[in-house]
Amino acid sequence: MKTTSFRLALTGLATGLVLATAAVSARAAEGGPKPPQQKWSFSGPLGTFDRAQLQRGFKVVKEVCANCHAMNLGNAVRMRNLSQPGGPEFTPGQVAALAATYQVTDGPNDQGEMFQRPGRPADTFPAPFPNEQAARAANGGAYPPDLSVLAKARTYERGFPKFIFDIFTQYQEQGPDYIVALLNGYTKPPEGMTLLPGQNFNTYMPGHLIAMPQPLQDGQVEYPKGPDGKPQVPETIHQYAEDVAAFLVWMAEPHMEARKRLGFQVMIFLAIFAGLLYYTKKKIWARMPDGSPAH
Amino acid sequence: MSGHSSYVPKTGIERWLDARLPIVRLAHDTAVSYPVPRNLNYLWTFGGILAFMLAAQIVTGIILAMHYTPHATLAFASVEHIMRDVNFGWLLRYLHSNGASMFFVAVYVHIFRGIYYGSYKAPREVLWILGVVIFLLMMATAFMGYVLPWGQMSFWGATVITNLFSALPVIGETIVTFLWGGYSVDNPTLNRFFSLHYLLPFMIAGVVVLHIWALHVVGQNNPTGVEVKNVQKDTVPFTPYATIKDIFGMVCFIFVFSYFVFYQPNFMGHADNYIPANPAVTPSHIVPEWYFLPFYAILRAIPDKLGGVLAMGSAIVVLAFLPWIDTSKVKSMSYRPIARQLFWAFLAVCIGLGYLGAMPAEGGYVTASQIFTVLYFGFFVALALVGIFEKPRPLPSSIADSVLANIKGASGVQLATAAAEPNVKG
Amino acid sequence: MAHATETTGTTRRDFLMLATGAAGAVGTAAVIVPLISQLAPDAQVIAAGAPMDVDLGPIAEGQAIKLFWRGKLIFVRHRTKKEIDEALAVDIATLRDPQTDQQRTKPGHEQFLIIYGNCTHLGCVPLGNAPGDPKGDYDGWFCPCHGSHYDSSGRIRRGPAPLNLPVPPYAFTADTKIKIG
């Protein structure tokens, strides 16, 4: 009897494992290439954003991405966020000057009319298109997604057992890795594949067909110069892509630094508290009320 | 054990209150003098952990409701507003969303502990059934809560799960329309889900009171499954013994909880839920939250709409009948060689179903889900049969005996100190 | 907890209990911080109060309008000569909240009185802006909730309100244009 049930248990476990492995290999085959993992300053328990990188990323977003992509989903992101701690940390003066370069629709005024005024830090970034239909009409029917939380809204399948390891390695940069891969993933379509007008081939886009044409070129955006008169980082597609992705991560999770910092304090406190409780518990359990020993 | 109360009011005010509303006596009897089997292991701390999680979810939830807007066009934005602008809003929201997952982690440990040690058996059937009721209420609450951010997974989760009811013959369609408050999942649905999401936790709290009441009538089970025979020898007072142990277990649990909140806050969520709800596009691969995956796999295993819904429902409801399905007289599977193997197989099947629930419903996954669904229900059949012929190992004569057997060989010094100071309560 | 015969063991245990208890108290207190802090105005509310331009030109003599700035109600009244004279004639020693009319207006623009529009008693909106409204016994405003009378300078004269209607921060940017905030 015992052997029967034991065998049953083993069969159950074995079936599970076999299926799991089969499943993983099947998905790995169908899913296309995985985005390569980049090195991020903000990964890991002590990660912080690189201010200069966020500022560069914002420059690329402002000059390139924002021509088609809005950043005002639910009015969540405001220009004032650019000067708050833990972000690109532009000065409030820089943000006010930046905001004033935008014309913002306000109103209605006393005559009941909407009017234009210079932007303020408390405003959202004006969207490139008034609504989704206008955005689609201008982009061949495709809607450029809002960038506000995009870095958290994009991912790729990690698969078993990687996703278990991710708990311990704290790998959670699927979003920015995917964005970098996508921005660098434009290639010629494979032989025999013809693209319709408005379609582009991208290695990392699910299904490979993407409406967005390759947005970045080497040297397209001018980066701040160092003391030697040369840009401090290369003005390449890859560098642009990393900077944009870093900026998008911050925009999607603006309190990440505060979260990790507070987390560190909380974890240390809990470890000490748990230690104290453990010894207190041992002390208490060393004496039973009737004098007999505990286990 | 509902023995005599050992509470002695000391001051005049306590005596005055005790004669009118013996609430201090109630607290004393439930949380101080209540006798706890002395051999409980750390799996028993999960009851306290669950109480803590319920309280934590209610507190963070009430606060989130102060900043959240239950409207189809504003819900997503208000969640982002909480994450960005509200002081510590990101913390409260991550505590609440990860708290739901941790709540289920704890409840699954609690349930499987109950199954392993036979905690559902007489005289604890009602206690167990109340637990199943709490589990059902938790599922409903968690599901409705997941709808509130009004992301893509919220919307499509709500669509898929409410559509389950359309499988019911004749009245199905009407029920679904009434659930929705319209002809599709829309603003009225979100509004009522918010209302119910706020209500249900208090219903859970109510059933928890009954659950604890039932527990205090029949007393706690323990790893040997042998009932308390001598309160003096077999038990210790709840305070300080169980209190300190529960708090220690709780803090360890909070450590893991905090790890996710601060370092992996979106690990247990779905990226798609950061895309606002769009009734025109279904995400390519929709899955429920991880804690529903085994049941979701059972649902998809049956190639018939009504059949799938019934199978899924039965998978939960069958738990309520465990006290009568299990035919063995012995509670703890520690003493049941065959049932114990079945238990581990069942656990493996549940994890396997969870994995399959996360995979797309195609090809080999469907077949595997069907096999695992049969195995899931097979466990209950096997448990019923095994009890008839299984020959359990000899049980210890009492809890105290099993404890003493375990510490055979403990140092004499320890025995001496323990004997020297019989009263630890100062 | 103390036990006379076991001094060292007791001290150690006491210290352990004390440390554990203290850590628990600190942890609980720390948890309360975010729970309370979230009640404070959030970043969006704080950021929303940008200065506001208002053109007073269209307000005819004797008329009053209502505005909102930072969610607070503001009255702007274009006072008549009679109202200004009444406000100036008051002996401020008799006032509950002594303030001269000059302190409450801008020099050269005395005809415009700009004040917050919520009664200093319990926050109701006093009547006196619309043409048919009761203006109280002092040609200013009358609060219908609990009967406070304000004069034509918005100062409390009678009733339960303790203070004058406060003047918001503002400045004239042109003859009839102001910037509030």
CATH number (domain holding residue C84): 2.102.10.10
Q: In chain C, what residues touch A279 (CB-CB under 8 Å)?
A: 16
CA distance C86 to B289: 71
Is B355 within 8 Å of A15 when comparing Cβ atoms? no
C118 lies in the same domain as C169: yes
Query: Looking at residue B414, what is its pLDDT?
Result: 44
What predicted TM-score, i.e. pTM, was given to this entire model?
A: 0.91
By the 8 A CB rule, do A262 and B379 touch? no
Which residues 237-256 in chain A show a CB within 8 A of chain B? 252, 254-255
Is C23 within 8 Å of A272 when comparing Cβ atoms? yes
C77 lies in the same domain as C16: no
The SS3 assignment for A132 reads: helix
The mean predicted confidence, pLDDT, of chain A is 89
pLDDT tens digits, residue range B386-409? 999 999 999 999 999 888 888 764
By the 8 A CB rule, do B271 and A174 touch? yes
Query: Looking at residue A290, what is its pLDDT?
Result: 72
B246 lies in the same domain as B262: yes
Q: Which residues of B242-261 are buried (b: 16+ CB within 10 A; e: fewer)?
A: bbbbbbbbbbbbbbebbbbb
Q: Does C17 touch chain A (CB under 8 A)?
A: yes
Closest Cβ opposite residue C27 in set A120, A121, A269:
A269
Is C2 within 8 Å of B426 when comparing Cβ atoms? yes
What range defines the domain where residue A2 resides?
A: 1-30
By the 8 A CB rule, do B143 and B103 touch? no
The mean predicted confidence, pLDDT, of chain C is 90
Residue A295 banded pLDDT, cuts 50, 70, 90: low
B240 lies in the same domain as B96: yes
| DSSP 8-state symbol, B88 | T
Residue B413 banded pLDDT, cuts 50, 70, 90: very low
Minimal-distance CA residue of chain A relative to B389: A1
C85 lies in the same domain as C3: no
A287 lies in the same domain as A229: no
A179 lies in the same domain as A197: yes
Chain A positions touching chain C (beta carbons under 8 Å): 78, 80, 84, 110, 120-122, 269-270, 272-273, 276-277, 279-280, 283
Query: Looking at residue B74, what is its pLDDT?
Result: 96
A158 lies in the same domain as A245: yes
The verdict on residue A83 lying in a domain is: no
Is B38 within 8 Å of A291 when comparing Cβ atoms? no
- B361 compared with B185, residue with greater pLDDT: B185
**Residue B261 confidence (pLDDT) above 90:** yes
Q: In chain A, what residues touch C20 (CB-CB under 8 Å)?
A: 273, 276-277, 280
C33 lies in the same domain as C100: no
By the 8 A CB rule, do B374 and A41 touch? no
B52: which residues sit within 8 A by CB, 6+ positions away? B250
Chain C positions touching chain B (beta carbons under 8 Å): 1-3, 6, 24, 33-35, 37-40, 42-45
- A108 compared with A82, residue with greater pLDDT: A82
CA distance A143 to chain B (A): 13
A162 lies in the same domain as A274: no
**How many pairs of residues across B and C have Cβ atoms under 8 Å apart?**
38
pLDDT tens digits, residue range A223-240? 999 888 888 999 999 999
C21 lies in the same domain as C60: no
Candidates C78, C109, C121, C146; catalytic one: C146
Check if C146 is active-site.
yes
CATH number (domain holding residue B247): 1.20.810.10
Is B421 within 8 Å of C42 when comparing Cβ atoms? no
Q: Does B423 touch chain C (CB under 8 A)?
A: no
Q: In chain B, what residues touch C31 (CB-CB under 8 Å)?
A: none
What range defines the domain where residue C23 resides?
A: 1-40
Strand ranges (DSSP E) for B165-279? 235-237
CA distance C80 to chain A (A): 24
Q: Does B239 touch chain C (CB under 8 A)?
A: no
B93 lies in the same domain as B233: yes
Is B244 within 8 Å of A266 when comparing Cβ atoms? no
Percentages helix, strand, coil for chain A (3-state, rounded to 5) are 45, 5, 50
Which range (B261-265, B399-403, B417-421) has the least confidence?
B417-421
**Which of B325, B356, B358 lies closest to B342, judged by CA?**
B325
What range defines the domain where residue B230 resides?
A: 20-285
A217 lies in the same domain as A268: no
Closest Cβ opposite residue C38 in set B81, B89, B247:
B89
Q: Which amino acid is at A89?
A: E
In angstroms, what CA-CA distances link A59 with A129, A221, C77?
Answer: 20, 8, 48
Q: In chain B, what residues touch C38 (CB-CB under 8 Å)?
A: 63, 66-67, 86-89, 92
| DSSP 8-state symbol, B1 | -
C101 lies in the same domain as C161: yes
C66 lies in the same domain as C110: yes
**Residue B421 confidence (pLDDT) above 70:** no
pLDDT tens digits, residue range A122-147? 999 999 999 999 999 999 999 999 99
**Residue B370 confidence (pLDDT) above 90:** yes
A247 lies in the same domain as A294: no
Q: In chain B, what residues touch C34 (CB-CB under 8 Å)?
A: 87-88, 91-92
By the 8 A CB rule, do C3 and C10 touch? yes
Q: Which amino acid is at B21?
A: L
**DSSP string over A74-116:** GG---GGGGGSTTTT---HHHHHHHHHTSEEEE---TTS--EE
Residue B2 banded pLDDT, cuts 50, 70, 90: very low
Query: Looking at residue B407, what is its pLDDT?
Result: 73
**Residue B420 confidence (pLDDT) above 90:** no
Q: Which two tokens stand for residue C120?
A: 């200093």
- CA torsion angle for A125, A128, A132, A135 (degrees, to 10)? -160
Minimal-distance CA residue of chain C relative to B425: C1
CA distance A46 to chain C (A): 21
Q: In chain A, what residues touch B267 (CB-CB under 8 Å)?
A: 166-167, 172
B321 lies in the same domain as B266: no
